[in-house]
Amino acid sequence: MDANLEEAAQLLHATRLQIIQKITLPMVKPAILSTFLLAFSSSMSAFAVPAFLGMPVRYQVLTTQMYRTLQGLNPGYGYLMALMLILIGVSIMLINQKVLDNRKAYTTITGKSSNVSLFNLRGLKNPLSYFLVVGLLCITIVPLITFAIESFIVEPGNYALSNFSTVFWTGEGAVDIANGEPGILRNRSVFNGLYNSVVLSLVCAFFAGSLGILGGYAIARKKGTWLSETVNHLTFFPYLLPSMAMGAIYLSVFAVPHGPIPALYGTFAVLVLIGTVKYLPFATKSGINAMLQLGGQIEEAALIMGVGWWKRMTRIIIPIQKTSFLSGYLLPYISCMRELSLFILLISPSTAVLTTMLFQYNEKGWNQYANAINLLIVVVVLLSNYIINKLTGASIDKGIG
């Protein structure tokens, strides 16, 4: 946003409140509404946080109630709750679209010069710097330390050195601890879950990323047409569907054979299918951003030379924007590695992943094992992102925009 707009208002003796109401908020209204839509959709579909922290009945939300219902004797009520979640998500999207379509037009890019007002945040010289540093530490470093400490404590709440033990990591299993469950690093089930998580994430990332590149190419090259807008909305629609609701839909479709539709419940294929659909919006947005950054003149020159579509993609477009395209694969991979609510209804013992094992350990009250698996997931995700970034230069922020 051009700082000249606010400076002009200050020259006309407008107050700070008037500037915010008349200039700043109207300019950033689309961004605010989009943020509200994304945050609302994520919160409505949240299952892990309410399931772990909202044990009392008064703190239960629709997703946790739906899970208990679908796992109980009244699955029909669960499907009704899933339908309700879908209708809420679609309603929010329609309201957001209605407001944006009716907004006034403001010129933000002109032939005049513009400037950006910068704030010097170097060092710890102002309260905002302290706030940012403390906030980042609280949401990044402190949780990792907490997971690590809690995974070594035998008796929760007792932080005496004599109460620390490595039995939950390297123990062979004791009858008086978790019914003889071996430590995380010696537990074959945990390694099987880690293998399933990595393979599932890689496969979902491959399919979602590939479809995202194709979708981004089609949307960007036909931008402004009715077909392009339709495809853009359709590829973004799975994001608005709560994960638990999507799981319920796939559960109802693939639980038993329906004519030509096979019963895929409990198989690896249904996890790949639902993961690809759910993470397609991330990959498509990355593909759209990559294609919009690439001018059409390069491809037009290749068309004049008679170069076919496949050769243009593999020799020109993908090599130029490979970092952005790789980010489109990285986003679904990381999202799948930490996903719980999307797979919780469709998992079988043979297809268990780390997140579902974490949830099962927590339900049994084996919090040390759950904390250890949680730390393991975080380490795997961070390590994967670091390796991919060092090898290819791809990063999550490049995939977002």
CA angle 88, 94, 98 (to 5 degrees): 145
- Bridge partners (DSSP) of residue 164 are 153
For the whole model, what pTM was predicted? 0.79
pLDDT, mean of residues 268-273: 90
Winning range, highest mean pLDDT, from 3-7, 172-176, 282-286? 282-286
With a cut of 70, say whether residue 29 has pLDDT above it: yes
Measured in residues, the chain has a length of 401
Tell me phi and psi for residue 164, to 5 degrees: -90, 140
Query: In whole numbers, what is the pLDDT of the chain averaged over residues?
Result: 81
Winning range, highest mean pLDDT, from 79-88, 148-157, 183-192, 227-236? 183-192
- pLDDT > 70: what percent of the chain? 87
| Torsion 120-29-1-228 (CA) sign | positive
Instruction: Give the residue among 155, 226, 213 at the shortest CA–CA distance from 368.
Output: 155
* pLDDT tens sequence across 96-132: 667 665 554 444 444 555 566 676 666 656 777 788 8
* Structure confidence at residue 398 as a pLDDT band (50, 70, 90): low
Instruction: Give the residue among 39, 49, 42, 44 at the shortest CA–CA distance from 85.
Output: 44
With a cut of 50, say whether residue 10 has pLDDT above it: yes
Q: What is the pLDDT of residue 122?
A: 65
With a cut of 50, say whether residue 238 has pLDDT above it: yes
Contact 366, 182 (CB under 8 A): no
With a cut of 80, say whether residue 215 has pLDDT above it: yes
pLDDT, mean of residues 369-387: 87
* Structure confidence at residue 192 as a pLDDT band (50, 70, 90): very high
Q: What is the pLDDT of residue 341?
A: 85
